[in-house]
Amino acid sequence: MTARRILVTGANGFVGSRVVARILTDGLETPRAAIRREPHDALPGGETVRVGSLGPDTDWSEAVRGADVVVHCAARVHVMRELAEDPLAEFRKVNVEGTVTLARQAAAAGVERFVFLSSIKVNGEESQPGKPFEASDAPAPSDAYGKSKYEAEVSLQQIASETGMAVTVIRPVLVYGPGVKGNFRTIMRLLALGLPLPLGAVDNRRSLVALDNLCDLVMACARSAAAGNKTFLVSDGEDLSTTTLIRRLAAAMGIAPHLFPVSPRMLGTAATVVAMGGIAKRLLGSLQVDIEPTARALDWRPPLSVEEGLKRAADDFLRRPGSR
């Protein structure tokens, strides 16, 4: 019996590369890695296909030929220093039009399942105390990235109804793990430098997801008939305050954190003054998700604890040159 072939887009990215590695490790399916360039982006194992940039005119014919499942990780992600005159148009070109082009070509090629990596930003930027986000909540994206992901979800649902190709949407919270960048890596860097941080009194709650937990759910969605035409939220199943996260991350790094308490209100005001309100919201605000519906639908639980996830991220960071 021929093993099913899973096409992974964005296969040299943070999430995509880990999904390919997981498929190779399991040995149950054959991965096909879609990348933008070659040869230096080519991945070991499986099959690599160059598709160029993601957009409305991308030719996916070679990539989707003979594929049973598509795991769509490629995207224009949140940009910290946006230079585009019309950011929403740029996000739509890649995340909406590019996704629609791929999905339609996949359906025409006979792909059975399309797993779409969306974002919790579709739900919104901040959850209310005691009310974690659920997949059934009314979407409330506020930035260009979140809006583009929501529009892509709507388009995929339409394609599913027209073609019969099953579509599964996963909305991850902040993903951390080996190779993580952004604010999470910045915090590790500050801890490694021994700098004092004014985050010792933040009593928020945030859901996070370890990279390997996310990949485990991706594979469950690629394999389970119960995942068809559903939307799932994903996290580690344990929500942390920013203060607790930093303490536990420092412990994973073998470092004593230098935290001192400053009122979150004062921190938020100061961040707004220096045009860093977005970062402050992520550090000071709450964003929780309820993964019980995901767990029940797929008989799934995150295989890694928060401690294990943080240790993998910390070990990888400390192995890299210049980490200390």
CA 94/CA 237 separation, integer angstroms: 31
From CA 231, how far away is CA 287, in angstroms rounded? 18
Q: Are residues 14 and 67 in the same domain?
A: yes
Q: What percent of the chain has pLDDT over 90?
A: 82
pLDDT digits (tens, 9 = 90+) for 221-249: 999 999 999 999 999 999 999 999 999 99
Query: Does some domain include residue 217?
Result: no
Task: Look at residue 131 and give its three-state secondary structure.
Answer: strand
Burial letters for 187-215: b for 16+ Cβ neighbours within 10 Å, e otherwise? Answer: bbebbbeeeebebbebebbbbbbbbbbbb
Could you tell me if 252 and 162 lie in one domain?
no
Residues 188 and 125 in one domain: no
- Based on the fold, state whether residues 46 and 19 are members of the same structural domain: yes
pLDDT at 275: 46
**H or E segment and range at residue 312:** helix 306-319
What pLDDT does residue 129 have?
87
pLDDT of residue 2: 65
Is position 222 within any domain?
no
Q: Is 11 helix (H, G, I), strand (E, B) or coil?
A: coil
- Where does 199-267 show beta strands of DSSP type E? 208-210, 231-234
pLDDT band at residue 282 using 50, 70 and 90 as cut-offs: confident
- pLDDT for the residue 270: 67
State the chain's mean pLDDT as an integer.
Answer: 92
pLDDT band at 263 (very low <50, low <70, confident <90, very high): confident
SS3 of residue 66 by DSSP: coil
Please give the structure tokens belonging to residue 187: 């915090």
Residues 105, 20 within the same domain: yes
Same domain, residue pair 17 and 111 = yes
pLDDT value for 42: 57
pLDDT band at 265 (very low <50, low <70, confident <90, very high): confident
The answer to the question of residue 50 being in a domain is yes
Q: Which tens digits make up the pLDDT trace of 180-214?
A: 999 899 999 999 999 999 999 999 999 999 999 99
Chain segment 131-148, per-residue pLDDT in tens:
999 999 999 999 999 999
pTM of this structure: 0.94
pLDDT at residue 93 in the model? 96
Tell me, yes or no, whether 150 and 258 share the same domain: no
> Residue 221 domain-assigned?
no
Is 153 found in the same domain as 54? yes
Looking at the fold, whether 112 and 150 belong to one and the same domain comes out as yes
In a domain, 227, yes or no: no
Pick the last residue of a domain from 151, 172, 193. 172
Looking at mean pLDDT, say which of 108-112, 273-277, 281-285 comes out highest: 108-112
* CATH number of the domain that residue 308 is part of: 3.90.25.10
- Spatial neighbors of 317 by CB under 8 A, at least 6 apart, are 180, 185, 188, 192, 253, 323
Residues 65, 52 within the same domain: yes
The residues carrying an active-site annotation are 145
DSSP H/E element including 48 = strand 47-50
Give the residue numbers spanning the domain of 158.
5-172
What domain count does the chain have? 2
Co-location of 158 and 189 in the same domain: no
Q: What is the CATH number of the domain that holds 71?
A: 3.40.50.720
In the numeric block, which tokens belong to residue 135?
Answer: 């997949």
